[in-house]
Every structure is written in structure tokens, then in C-alpha cells.
Homo-oligomer: A and B are copies of this chain.
Amino acid sequence: VKEIDIISALQASIDQSSSEVIVPIGDDGSVIAMNANKQLVTTTDAITVDIHYPKGIEAKSIGHRCLAINLSDMAAMGASAKWASLVFSMPSIDSKWVEGFIIGFSNLANESNIDLIGGDTIRGPEFFAVSLQGYVEQGQFINRTNAKEGDLIYLTGHLGSAAYGLELIINNNQNDDGQFIRSFLYPSPRSKEGILIAKYASAMIDISDGFYCDLRKISSELNKGFKVDVLTLPIEPNLLEQTSQDKAINLALTGGDDYELCFTVPEKHEKQFLDELTSEFDTLLTCVGQITDSKELLIAGNEGYALPESTFEHFDS
């Protein structure tokens, strides 16, 4: 497999769906038609072995993940993702491995209507960087700065499953039907949900570094606090069967790799928000707390809850 073949094969596996692409991949740059009613949104995120995933996981997952983490960022802006560029670096080329990578990347690209518009292939360290462009209608983006005291803190999906899956992979644990390992290997970016949630949310972030860590990014941006009841965190019932409640809560708070959305909704819009969104998708929506004017506070029911000491020894960096 020659350099150029990887990007060409990837391109051939992805339906080029966007009529806005004027000059496609293959030149010095790509050219895209613009629409003045829209605003451009750009994200960039990279993954590398031993930092973001353990050595030896399947190539298909790596292809999926490097695109998924960018789709998740785009969702957290409330934006529609459209055009991806990939920097693909591997020390040597194994055609079976490359095939797996291509399947993982292109399946997710096709599901998400993403065009590949740029590529750079390097014989270097195992390293994959994706840059993604997309758009929002004028002013319809959601950043982290507009939440107010009293706004409700909501989450999509479940927390902690991916971090537990990573533990199973690292410990080479076979006592698993694959559910948690799949959560780690194939995160589902909340692309459709992000766009709909953006109509109601006052702030939004995707959970890549762990719920507690990412919520603190919102609260420090706002200069506000939060009060979260850890007993309301959406944890898979199966995870509570396999591990203690304390462990599960710790994974949910600090585990990372969930790629769920954390967002705030003004209390007065909650009913309308729930009515509309629960009719649009089945993804679980859970209220876990509220933005406060004082300092951050984790509670369990009515009692205080202290984070375990080891909280910040996180695999990711």
C-alpha cells in the first residue's frame, strides 16, 4: 500500500455527498462554496497510541474514534458536521490494518454525511489528527458562556461505561459480553441530538475528559458553581451489576471517553424542551443538577460527597 493509496481508498469508501465541494481532495487544498446565512464551525482533535487508546485495539475502532471525537465536538457546538481532513501517520503499513481503519472511518463518515476533503499520509508515529468543518445557521451555535444561575444540568446517554470498558481492555478481561468494551471502542457522537438540544441549551460541552472535569470547564468559564447529585448520574444498570456503586459513580464522574453531551437548560424551558426532544429521539436525557452562584458541590442524596483521592490519575492527557 503506497502513501497515496490509503487516502484514495478512504475517499473511495466515502460517499461524497456535499454539493458545496468545488475542489475535492487531491489538490493543495480543497474549495467549498459558502452560504452567508450560515456560520462556519471548525474543530480539530488528534489521537495517539498509549495516550488515547491502548496499543493493539482493533484498527476499525481507531478509524472510528479519530472521526467520532471531532463529530462530538461539533455536536457540542450545535453544528452540522460536513467536511473532514485526516492526517494519517503510521510507522509501517499493514494492508489488513489499513483496511480496518478505512472501514471504521468510512462507516462513521457515511452515517454522518461527512465528505473527506483533505489528507496527509506520513510514515511516522502512530498518530491520527482530524480537522472537521461544518456550519450552524446564523447565531445558532452553543458555546459555554451563556448559562445562568438556576439553569438545569442535563446529560445525554449513560456515563462510565466507556471508562469501565477501557479497564476491561487493559486488564485483558474476558468476563464481558462486549457491551462496555464496545462503549470504549465505538463511541456514538450525539450529532443529531446536539443540533436539536442547541435550540434550548444555554451552554453545552462534550464529555471527553470525564463529566466532573468537563462540567468544571463550563463552570469556570461562567464563573459560577454547580450542585450535582451523584445518585442521579445516568449509569447503565449492567454496570451497577458488575461493580460497586462507589466505583460506578467514580467512573461516571471522572472516567472520560463517554462522548455524551453535558448541557444546561433554563428551568422555564424545561417542559417544552423535554416535550420536543423526547418526540425526536430515544436517547436518554437526565437532569443531574443545577448551576449555582456559589462554589461547586457534589452531593449524594442529601449528604455531601467527596471525590476519591485518585480522581485525576486519568489515562487520557
Chain A residues in the interface with B (C-beta under 8 A): 3, 22-23, 27-36, 38-46, 48, 50-52, 73-74, 76-77, 79, 83, 85-87, 89, 117-120, 122-125, 127, 129, 131, 133, 135-136, 141, 143-144, 204-206, 317
Contacts and interface: CB of A to CB of B under 8 A. Distances in A.
A137 B93 CA distance: 40
Given A32-B39, A44-B87, A45-B87, 16 more contacts: A22-B39, A28-B204, A29-B77, A29-B79, A31-B40, A31-B136, A31-B143, A34-B36, A44-B86, A45-B120, A46-B89, A46-B122, A48-B125, A51-B124, A124-B125, A125-B125
A117 B46 contact: no
26 contacts: A22-B39, A28-B43, A28-B73, A28-B74, A28-B76, A28-B77, A28-B205, A29-B41, A29-B43, A29-B79, A30-B43, A31-B41, A32-B42, A33-B40, A34-B34, A44-B85, A44-B87, A44-B119, A48-B89, A48-B122, A48-B125, A50-B124, A87-B87, A120-B129, A122-B317, A125-B125
A45 B274 CA distance: 43
A46 B86 CA distance: 10
Given A42-B83, A46-B129, A125-B48, A34 B31 contact: no
A38 B34 contact: yes
A29 B136 CA distance: 12
A30 B39 CA distance: 10
A311 to B, nearest CB: 17
Contacts of A118: 42-44, 131
Contacts of A119: 44
A83 B131 CA distance: 12
B40 A129 contact: no
A125 B23 CA distance: 33
What are the 6 closest A-B residue pairs judged by CB atoms, nearest first? A131-B131, A125-B125, A36-B36, A48-B124, A29-B43, A28-B76
A50 to B, nearest CB: 8
Contacts of A205: 28
A30 B45 CA distance: 13
Nearest to A194: B28
Nearest to A45: B120
A49 to B, nearest CB: 8
A145 to B, nearest CB: 8
A42 B28 contact: no
A168 B219 CA distance: 53
Given A123-B317, A127-B127, A133-B133, A143 B27 contact: yes
A129 B117 CA distance: 16
A44 to B, nearest CB: 4
